[in-house]
């Protein structure tokens, strides 16, 4: 039975962080019963399209899903179990912000079935939390990590580095502290300036200066080195885990498995009658709710993807992974033989430049390659 990962999007936050371009919104009031019923309805609709599957993971993302009533999360988890068979030890992740309101609900979320929490700590420095517009303090973050450790079998937290003015020594110190607090997984993202965010406008006006390429590279190298020393393997560009403790849900995206996306603006990739299909729901929370109440779903895009686009997507995702792309698996999923589909001259050049590593069975990026991943992938695809 083909596996299926289930993503559920909760689009609300207490405030909008200046760097964030996720589909997240601040609303004075959320009609909780309507939202619960609509999310359940869209989940059932997705099941009707994908009945013969085994669910391999559930991920509550956002927005801030830890602000979701626990009985909504519980009802959705129960409904997944009622609709599909699931794998043993189903991974159920909740993204949470380290504020006291959300921490108070950890017991109830654990009781509802959540067994992995991903905390948005973002920094262990007070000035950085202020710059990032976060609502929690350093002590609050540490308390949340401790609570996550005691309430859930698995926990991870996110940090944002390569911040304006951050030196290598400062990051090394912060990372040391983070490693003392870490469990089996960490997500470490370099700050990116996204269009349509408050940071974008401030940056364009010269409000702050971002690290240059050489500084970002040095910070990235230091990060990988430190993680490896502490036994956290860099299994994806920004994700580090002890072996076997990777996020199974996120791995589904990167290896090209099928997933459904429920809730406003959620994406999905489904193989239906052998055709890979891209799905997306309406982004606006209000329009999503209205449409779902009317017709049981708010799917806006249901688009078969041609083989070339599918292969390109899989290449982009696969190169993010340290384990790389397995030629045989790639060929089986979309018919592309990567050994002949890509320009041999370019591949050889990038291999000799130390950006790609090639074995009889795999194509993978080196650390140097991951530093220029977007440009490298674009170049490979231009010749494919």
Ligand X SMILES: C[S@@+](CC[C@H](N)C(=O)[O-])C[C@H]1O[C@@H](n2cnc3c(N)ncnc32)[C@H](O)[C@@H]1O
DSSP H/E element including 218: helix 213-229
Nearer to ligand SF4, 47 or 249 (CB): 249
246: which 2 tokens?
A: 């990777």
Determine the Cα–Cα distance for residues 263 and 279; give it in Å rounded to an integer: 12
List the one residue from 4, 5, 6, 24 that touches ligand SF4 (CB under 6 A): 24
Residues with Cβ < 8 Å from 362, sequence gap 6 or more?
Answer: 323, 324, 325, 326, 327
Backbone dihedral region for residue 206 (phi beyond 0: left; psi -120 to 50: alpha; all else: beta) = left
Strand partners, 187: 158, 239
State whether the Cα torsion 311-342-326-154 is positive or negative: negative
Q: Is 193 in the site for ligand SF4 (CB under 6 A)?
A: no
We find the least distance from the C-beta atom of residue 186 to ligand X, in angstroms, to be: 11
Q: Which residues between 103 and 122 bind ligand SF4 (CB under 6 A)?
A: 120
Nearer to ligand X, 63 or 369 (CB): 63
List the one residue from 3, 20, 198, 362 that touches ligand SF4 (CB under 6 A): 20
**Using CB distances below 5 to 8 A depending on partner kind, what does residue 191 bind out of ligand SF4, ligand X, none?**
ligand X
Nearer to ligand X, 235 or 327 (CB): 235
Stretch binding ligand SF4 (CB under 6 A), from 13-21, 205-213, 237-245, 328-336? 13-21
Stretch binding ligand SF4 (CB under 6 A), from 11-19, 77-85, 283-291, 353-361? 11-19
Which residues of this protein are in contact with ligand X, per CB under 6 A? 19-20, 22, 61-62, 64, 95, 97, 120, 122, 158, 160, 189, 191-192, 194
Per the CB < 8 A criterion, the answer to whether 85 and 280 are in contact is: no
Determine the Cα–Cα distance for residues 161 and 163; give it in Å rounded to an integer: 5
Nearer to ligand X, 11 or 324 (CB): 11
Nearer to ligand SF4, 17 or 289 (CB): 17
Determine the Cα–Cα distance for residues 173 and 212; give it in Å rounded to an integer: 21
What phi and psi, each to the nearest 5 degrees, are found at residue 308? Answer: -65, -45
Binding site for ligand SF4 (CB under 6 A): 13, 16-17, 20, 22, 24, 62-64, 97, 120
């Amino acid at each position: 039975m083909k596996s299926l990962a289930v993503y559920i999007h909760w689009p609300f936050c207490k405030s909008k962080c200046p760097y964030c371009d996720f589909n997240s919104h601040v609303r004075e009031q959320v009609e909780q019963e309507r939202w619960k019923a609509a999310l359940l309805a869209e989940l059932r609709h997705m099941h009707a399209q994908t009945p013969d599957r085994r669910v391999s993971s559930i991920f509550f993302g956002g927005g801030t899903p830890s602000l979701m009533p626990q009985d909504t999360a519980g009802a959705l988890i129960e409904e997944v179990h009622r609709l599909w068979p699931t794998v043993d030890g189903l991974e159920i992740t909740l993204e949470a912000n380290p504020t006291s309101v959300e921490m108070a609900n950890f017991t109830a979320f654990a009781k509802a079935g959540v067994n992995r929490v991903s905390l948005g700590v973002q920094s262990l420095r007070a000035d950085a939390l202020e710059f990032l517009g976060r609502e929690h303090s350093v002590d609050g973050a540490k308390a949340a990590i401790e609570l996550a450790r005691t309430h859930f079998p698995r926990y991870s937290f996110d940090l944002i580095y390569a911040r304006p003015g951050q030196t290598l020594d400062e990051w090394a110190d912060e990372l040391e502290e983070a490693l003392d607090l870490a469990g089996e997984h960490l997500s470490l993202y370099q700050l990116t300036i996204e269009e349509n965010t408050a940071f974008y406008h401030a940056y364009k006006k010269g409000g702050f200066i971002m690290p240059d390429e050489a500084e970002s590279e040095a910070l990235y190298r230091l990060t990988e080195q430190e993680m490896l020393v502490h036994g956290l393997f860099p299994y994806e560009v920004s994700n580090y885990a002890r072996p076997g403790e990777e996020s199974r849900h996120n791995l589904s995206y990167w290896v090209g498995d099928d997933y459904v996306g429920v809730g406003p603006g959620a994406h999905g990739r489904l193989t239906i009658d052998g055709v890979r299909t891209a799905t997306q729901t309406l982004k606006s929370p209000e329009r999503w709710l209205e449409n779902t109440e009317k017709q049981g779903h708010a799917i806006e895009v249901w688009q078969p993807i041609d083989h070339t686009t599918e292969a390109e997507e899989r290449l982009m995702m696969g190169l993010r992974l340290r384990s790389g792309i397995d030629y045989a698996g790639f060929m089986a999923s979309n018919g592309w033989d990567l050994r002949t589909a890509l320009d041999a001259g370019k591949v050889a050049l990038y291999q000799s430049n130390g950006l790609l590593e090639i074995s009889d069975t795999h194509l993978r990026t080196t650390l140097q390659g991951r530093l220029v991943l977007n440009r490298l992938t674009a170049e490979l695809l231009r010749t494919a």
